[in-house]
Amino acid sequence: MQFTTFVFSIFEKSIGDYHKWDDVDATIQNPYPEKSIEYYLYLKNWIDTVQWHLEDIIRDPEINPVEALEIKRRIDRSNQNRTDLVELIDSYFWERYQHIHPSEKATLNTESPAWAIDRLSILALKIFHMEKEVERRTETTQQEIYRNKLNILLEQRQDLSLAIDQLLDDIESGKKYMKVYKQMKMYNDPDLNPVLYGKK
């Protein structure tokens, strides 16, 4: 089984489990052993899924401004949690490939494996929701429009999965090497955001 097939199955489980309640405040029940790669992938997608629905809620034109501000801050916290988890997943790959000695001609990829997997998680959500849009359309022309959109997303899944699997194969064979950078979100840091440090 290709690694991305395994990953996507975990994302589908997370999305399916969330939609049993379809509630942004539902308690996560991660079925995988804590600190396993499966655990982190499930948690990553669960966070993405909750944030997907928070983004829907905040776009309600009649939303109470106080509630909107709280949701915006919740989305900001969620983004930080997503970033932290991507870095955790990259640590898994870093440890997994530590013994690999890259060839002299090895090249660096534009993004790390975990950041590519982050994109696959969002794509899993797009596919799930586009499938729902196809199902709820009763008019043939509308259904065809959304089915075409779904087909594009499915093609993107195939292409992205192939690219990720090739990247992992290239790292394992020494054709590519990976570097891990800690994200520096300056607006979250009270020492770097002038609005925050100006209030000290």
Q: What is the pLDDT of residues 52-87, one digit of tens each?
A: 999 999 999 999 999 999 999 999 999 999 999 999
Looking at residue 200, its pLDDT comes to: 62
Domain segments of the chain: what residues? 3-189
At 15, is the secondary structure helix, strand, or coil?
A: helix
How big is the chain by its Cα radius of gyration, in Å?
19
Q: Tell whether the torsion through CA atoms of 10, 14, 15 and 17 is positive or negative.
A: positive
β-bridge partners, 107: 176
**Distance between CA atoms of 159 and 86, rounded to whole angstroms?**
21
**Distance between CA atoms of 189 and 192, rounded to whole angstroms?**
5
For residue 180, name the pLDDT band (cuts at 50, 70, 90). confident
Type and span of the H or E element at 158: helix 140-173
Tokens of 193: 């955001």
Position 61: which residue type? P
Instruction: Give Cβ neighbours of residue 9 (< 8 Å, ≥ 6 apart).
Output: none
